[in-house]
Amino acid sequence: MAYITADDGVDVFVRDLGEGDPIVFLHGWPLNHRMFEYQFTDLLEEGFRCIGIDLRGYGESDKPYGDYSYDRFADDVRAVLDELDIHGATLAGFSMGGGTATRYMSRHDEAHVDRLALLAPASPVITEKPDFPDGLAESDVNPLIEGARTDRAKMNAEFAAMLFHTDQSDELLHWIWSLGMEAAGHATIASAETWRDADLRPDMDDITVPTKIYHGTHDEVTPIEITGEVLEDGIENAELIRFENSGHGLVTDETEKINEELADFAG
């Protein structure tokens, strides 16, 4: 475990385990790198190096007031990969982490990354735009932001219940809730506004590495029709892998399948 300082002085927490081919994990909103516990468990045993980053505002990273844009997150990821001197990584971004990964690949010219894995990504566009009428209505997303402003504990519990297609234990749902409560309230709000409003379609043209998109067909948070399918069409070297028994939280709905897919792709 280590803290790496970004260019604006913010300390970003990194968990770095193993010695094999590196897989860098970027978590979703409003969680932290610990959401990938069961990926770390299996992939470390398979001989991979697993690197989990807590984005600023989340987990054990600093939680400043201010910029929670995809540019800022991407720059923090670059600081981590530079400091760790990573080569040939698989960059694996889940949900908001998928948006961060998409922006990173464009903004930083794919530095350090040989393969891109997008897991139920909040990318390239979530909400309706004048030229993208198929997106979610902002009114579908805004209650999450308002909930973070007024009763973040309740919002996190309701969001945790939205994640999965398969039955999960009450204890696991509570654990997911607890990860969300480790985030700062202001970061939760600001970064939700980021993924609500972002349009990453121009970034897709800059992605040239092999890309896999792993997406649950029952995803109600980032529906596969407006994210996964658009990414497969827009990224030159991309393949969409459908998870037929998963909602948004495919890392838990189909843990064995996603771990096998990642090991095959990153190996």
Mean pLDDT, residues 218-227 taken together: 97
What was the pLDDT predicted at 36? 98
- Mean of the per-residue pLDDT values for the chain? 97
Range of the domain at 94: 2-266
Q: What pLDDT is stored for residue 32 in this prediction?
A: 98
Q: In angstroms, rounded to a whole number, what is the distance separating the alpha carbons of residues 94 and 212?
A: 12
pTM flag (> 0.85): yes
As annotated, the active-site residues are 95, 219, 248
At 3 the pLDDT is 97
Q: What CATH number should be reported for the domain holding residue 215?
A: 3.40.50.1820
Q: What is the mean pLDDT of residues 82-104?
A: 98
Looking at the structure of the chain, the number of domains it has is 1
Q: Given this model, what pLDDT does residue 1 score?
A: 73
* Number of other residues whose CB lies within 10 A of the CB of residue 170: 7
Q: What does the pLDDT look like over 126-136, one tens digit per residue?
A: 999 999 999 99
Phi, psi of 238 (to 5 degrees): -115, 150
